[in-house]
Amino acid sequence: MLQEKSSAHAFLLRAVLAAVMITLAAVLRIVPHPWNFTPIGAMALFSGAMFRDRRIAFLFPLVALFAGDIFVGLHRLIPVVYASFLLSVLIGTWLANRRSILRIGGAIFLGALQFFLVTNFAAWQLFGTYPHTPAGLVTCYLAGLPLFGNTLAGDTLYTTLFFGIFALAERLLPALSEPARYAAH
């Protein structure tokens, strides 16, 4: 009974800390920043990795995105952008209970890459900026490369901060640490 209470307490503390960090990420999105250099991709990865309840893991970034979009502005790519960030949450679930520098680095790259591919394809498809030809698609992707660099840099910085702060909090407050899944025999 005491172990269950301790586990529930640890879960609650972890959820509150993760929620606070994700809320701060949403706030940072609306302050001035270079194009695509935001904590949103990191927030999605972190949410997927930290929330056991997958409904919350997927819902929290959507709510944070929408809250930010109220201030930043609504646009035609919103459904595609939101779907892309949901893919990042899914990538983040791959990190749950298996966090390492290599895995987190791979998740950052994969999240930024899929965002670049998905959103640029949608921009090419939905807007008349580039011809709807293979050459037009290539031109669209080439034009988006600087934004990919910003996305990757922002995701790297903020993911490092989120997971680093959380790891530090787990060290400083042992109550935050999840109990071992399997007892030693």
Q: Is the pTM of this model over 0.75?
A: yes
The three-point CA angle 39-31-50 to 5° equals 25
Q: Which two tokens stand for residue 180?
A: 């071992």
CA distances from 140 to 121, 126, 133, 155 (A): 8, 12, 10, 22
Contacts 24+ apart (CB under 8 A), 141-145: 141/116, 141/117, 144/116, 144/120
- pLDDT for residue 180 is more than 50: no
pLDDT digits (tens, 9 = 90+) for 89-131: 999 999 988 889 999 999 999 999 999 999 999 999 999 999 9
CA distance linking residue 61 with residue 153, whole number of Å: 20
